[in-house]
Amino acid sequence: MLKRRVIPVLLLRGDRVVKGKQFTDYRDTGNPVMATRVYNAQAADELLFLDIEATVTGRSRLTEILSRVSEEAFMPFAVGGGIRTKADVRSLIAAGADKVVITTAAVETPEVVSEVAETFGSQCVIAGIDVRREDGRYAVYVRSGRVRTELDLQEHVRNLDRRGAGEILINSIDCDGMMGGYDLDMLACAVEATNKPVIVCGGAGNFRHLEEGLRAGAHAVACASLFHFGDNNPPRARAYLKNAGFPVKRV
């Protein structure tokens, strides 16, 4: 069985990392380079950097920060936020990223997903989907949750799968930062639509939530508040999941 992964998420805003609730109300959680050093020491399975200002305010100093981050990160790390073109991806990979997360462009110009997958390989493309629950259905949002689309969630997942995304990152805006657990129905919806690995994000507040995510079919569980606002770290999470019967990385 494939090893299940716990992926800390770092939201970049300017020179710092932050964490908010429902894509707003951000609190400082540290320095990106030092945070990477800490997760590296704790042998995190992977890291996920999302530049939350990139789509809204344009390219930031992301690549510069990333090259300093990549000196610290011995685990694979993915980067997202404002990626529009193959050239963007090339520069992020040159700065040390192993994978990229494409969210807004995956809706507005989905051919970018195919181009990047063809050029750099599917394993390096994570298609991101930000979701809000509205009147009993799931609406797909872009531009850091500011713009609503008319897409059907499962149709969008299938489309991203066909275009060559290696993994799907599904993130609940409603649950983000609330620490009350993942939106498991949303997750099940995505898992049903693809055979690609699904990473669930948004809402994990304790280790039981991680377990629930994996039981509901996620291949990896992403979390931020769990590690920022609680007595938790990746080794503890792995020990918990191992006791719950999941194969996890041995350190």
- CB of 171 or CB of 233, closer to another protein: 233
Alpha-helical (H) ranges within the chain are 32-41, 54-57, 62-72, 86-94, 104-108, 111-120, 153-162, 184-193, 207-215, 225-228, 234-243
Shortest Å, Cβ 28 to another protein:
5
CA 168/CA 202 separation, integer angstroms: 14
- Does 37 interact with another protein (rule: CB under 8 A)? yes
Q: What is the DSSP string of 145-213?
A: TTEEEEEEHHHHHHHHHHTT-SEEEEEETTTTTT-S---HHHHHHHHHH-SS-EEEES---SHHHHHHH
Shortest Å, Cβ 185 to another protein:
21
Among 68, 76, 217, 229, the residue binding another protein under the rule CB under 8 A is: 229
Q: Sketch the per residue contact string, 5 through 34, with another protein: x for CB under 8 A, - otherwise.
A: -----------x-----------xxxx--x
- Per CB under 8 A, which region of 111-119, 128-136, 137-145, 223-231 contacts another protein? 223-231
Shortest Å, Cβ 93 to another protein:
26
Residues that bind another protein (CB under 8 A): 16, 28-31, 34-35, 37-38, 40-43, 179, 205-208, 225, 227-233, 235-236, 239, 242-243
